[in-house]
Amino acid sequence: MTALDTYLNLRAFADELVRCGVREVCTSPGSRSTPLVLSLVRDARLRATSHLDERSGAFFGLGLAKASGRPVALACTSGTAAANYAPAVIEAYEARVPLLVLTADRPPELRELGAGQTIDQIKLYGSAAKWFFQVDDHPATPERVRWLRQLACRACWTALEGRPGPVHLNFSLREPLVLGEPLPADEPGGGGRAGGRPWVTRPGRTPALDPAVLDDLAGELERRPRAVVVAGRAERDPRLGAALASFAERAGVPLLGEPTSGARRGPAAIAHYDALLRDPAFGAARRPELVLRIGDLPTSKPLRQWLHGLDEETLQVAFDPENAWQDPAGAAATLLPADPRRVVEALAERLPRKPRAPGWLEEWTGPDRAAAGAIADVLGARPELSEPRIAAELGVRLPPEATLVVASSMPIRDVETFFPARPAPPRVLANRGANGIDGTISTAFGVAAAAPGPVVLLIGDVALLHDVGGLLAARRLGLPLAIVLLDNDGGGIFHFLPVAGEGAAFEEHVATPHGTDFAHAAALYGLAHERVAAPEPFRAALDRALAADRATLIHVRTDREENVALHRAVWEAVRAAV
């Protein structure tokens, strides 16, 4: 086994990834990974970004994969380096994002013998990897090179098909790790297939539409015209939101779409369902006959409780093309393994000209308008910038070509509660597979590297500190990103929970105030820093950040107690108005 063998094998592997549609690789530094990293970054068709910290690098790759819809390759060295990929691998599994996790390892004879930086990397990510394979080294015979091409295809297609997710290949790499001579142009066996085709193609990865299923669903819709559409996070198909909106409008049924569904748009959209459904009487008076569920279950607890509380008279049908089984209450009677966009487009064509349940949609749109008015009154009466106000401002001001990345905790909830419905909303992405607050900065920079327009991140202070090292991407990769930091000096979300009554122990160990001066973080990592306290300066700072060619931290100070009081005032005003 020579370095030439290693590099011939890995060059074919990298070439095959490109043929399968991979365009991005995120590397992290190390020695054992040298042949793997050099083979990937020397393929000029792959864009390579470098990340000091594997945890950030993996979340960056996750953001790239989410925004682009393509599998992204990660490559790192052995030991705890590989273990630092774990949070992003878990999120990718839960959120069903295709990743190719390529880790370097020592050959078997050096394992469990005290060799440096060597840990057990076999199945390191457990059940979070869709597929694990141990790639041992072998001379670059024609058979071996062909097998590596087949392996690369299998890794890519496995990451993409069915329930998408991460695959993990662990490469044994033997010294010498550097090739002292030029790599010959010829490949043993003659190279890949003609015309740049992958060695193995695997068509038909999306489930086909079964006409019988469509007939059944059309029949149910006819029998049960008082239907609602509930749409949660569905990031893989950017055209789904518009299709849902036109279907709901044609059918005359309310569309309860979380902004991450892309479906908070059109005249049937009910933007303020979270506030409305906080009043149990509102939901009780509007029991639907049919619920069509699309994407993940939305975050809103009142919506979840309402869905879970509907009795068996209501038929709940959940589209589940990715085998996600998003139904913790066991309320869905049918899980459809079909592409929801193709189904609603086909269903819309069969609908009568006039909605079958006249007045049903208006039972929702009237209160939604009243809720919007009540919210605007409460927020408008306060001159200062609040967390809800920021979410509402972003919902109105972000251009359609922008992408908003939303952190877990209150940001995702405020965007769900306060984003208005719009004809063409910006794309909204969030790490909601495991609801972690980790890796959010890096994910947003990954999105910024792939999104066609400007990218904004809405994030809390604890989440920012958790991934503060992710800010390095601003300087090292020169990526523009507008970070809107809601700094309430701790975890504001916990003030909504009973634990908030637990005094000093709550404050120190749950809320975790830290007193960080974020201007220093901006200075350390080379971001512009703007501190704003009122709506007009916020809008101006946002416009500047959207136009800038560097990353900006827009810093808003808020107060956790006041934030709870404001949310309660909003909910009360909505209840009174409806």
Ligand X SMILES: Cc1ncc(C[n+]2csc(CCOP(=O)(O)OP(=O)(O)O)c2C)c(N)n1
- The binding site for ligand X (CB under 6 A) comprises 408-410, 435-438, 460-463, 488, 491-493
Q: Looking at beta carbons only, is 426 or 491 nearer to ligand X?
A: 491
Give the 3-state DSSP-derived string for 378-445, with helices as H, strands as E and coil as C. Answer: HHHCCCCCCHHHHHHHHHHHCCCCCEEEECCCHHHHHHHHHCCCCCCCCEEEECCCCCCCCCHHHHHH
Check binding of 16 to Mg ion (CB under 5 A). Answer: no
Q: How far apart are the first and last CA of the chain?
A: 75
Binding segment toward Mg ion, per CB under 5 A, in 26-34, 95-103, 247-255, 459-467:
459-467
Q: Of all residues in this chain, which one has the CB nearest to ligand X in the complex?
A: 460
Q: Looking at beta carbons only, is 11 or 555 nearer to ligand X?
A: 555
Check binding of 411 to Mg ion (CB under 5 A). Answer: no
Helix (H) / strand (E) element for 166: namely: strand 166-172
Q: Looking at beta carbons only, is 168 or 432 nearer to ligand X?
A: 432
Check binding of 492 to Mg ion (CB under 5 A). Answer: yes
One of 411, 446, 460, 535 touching Mg ion (CB under 5 A)? 460
Residue 239, both tokens: 């055209």
Among Mg ion, ligand X, none, what binds residue 314 when CB lies within 5 to 8 Å by partner kind? Answer: none
Helix (H) / strand (E) element for 5: namely: helix 3-19
Among ligand X, Mg ion, none, what binds residue 230 when CB lies within 5 to 8 Å by partner kind? Answer: none
- Number of residues lying near Mg ion (CB under 5 A): 4
Q: How far is the CB of 428 from ligand X (least distance, A)?
A: 17
Inter-residue contact 387 to 410 (CB < 8 Å): yes
Q: Which long-range contacts (CB under 8 A, 24 or more apart) does 279-286 make?
A: 279/574, 279/575, 279/578, 282/367, 282/578, 283/309, 285/363, 286/363, 286/364
The whole-angstrom separation of Cα 294 and Cα 470 is 32
Q: How far is the CB of 518 from ligand X (least distance, A)?
A: 12
Q: How far is the CB of 467 from ligand X (least distance, A)?
A: 9
Q: How far is the CB of 327 from Mg ion (least distance, A)?
A: 31
Phi/psi region, residue 112 (left: phi>0; alpha: psi -120 to 50; beta: rest), is left
Between strands 99-105 and 131-135, the pairing is unpaired
DSSP state at residue 125: T
Inter-residue contact 175 to 132 (CB < 8 Å): no
Among ligand X, Mg ion, none, what binds residue 493 when CB lies within 5 to 8 Å by partner kind? Answer: ligand X
Among Mg ion, ligand X, none, what binds residue 442 when CB lies within 5 to 8 Å by partner kind? Answer: none
Query: What SS3 class is residue 563?
Result: helix
Q: Of all residues in this chain, which one has the CB nearest to Mg ion in the complex?
A: 460
Q: How far is the CB of 474 from ligand X (least distance, A)?
A: 19
Among Mg ion, ligand X, none, what binds residue 275 when CB lies within 5 to 8 Å by partner kind? Answer: none
The whole-angstrom separation of Cα 355 and Cα 378 is 35
Q: How far is the CB of 341 from ligand X (least distance, A)?
A: 31
Q: Looking at beta carbons only, is 170 or 488 nearer to ligand X?
A: 488
Q: Looking at beta carbons only, is 45 or 509 nearer to ligand X?
A: 509
Q: How far is the CB of 432 from ligand X (least distance, A)?
A: 11
Among Mg ion, ligand X, none, what binds residue 408 when CB lies within 5 to 8 Å by partner kind? Answer: ligand X
The whole-angstrom separation of Cα 201 and Cα 150 is 10
Q: Looking at beta carbons only, is 11 or 389 nearer to ligand X?
A: 389
DSSP state at residue 508: I
Q: How far is the CB of 436 from ligand X (least distance, A)?
A: 4
Q: Looking at beta carbons only, is 15 or 438 nearer to ligand X?
A: 438
Inter-residue contact 457 to 441 (CB < 8 Å): yes
Check binding of 403 to Mg ion (CB under 5 A). Answer: no
Check binding of 488 to Mg ion (CB under 5 A). Answer: yes
Q: Name beta bridge partners: 171.
A: 104, 135
Among Mg ion, ligand X, none, what binds residue 438 when CB lies within 5 to 8 Å by partner kind? Answer: ligand X
Q: How far is the CB of 35 from ligand X (least distance, A)?
A: 33
Please report, as ranges, the residues that interact with Mg ion according to CB under 5 A: 460-461, 488, 492
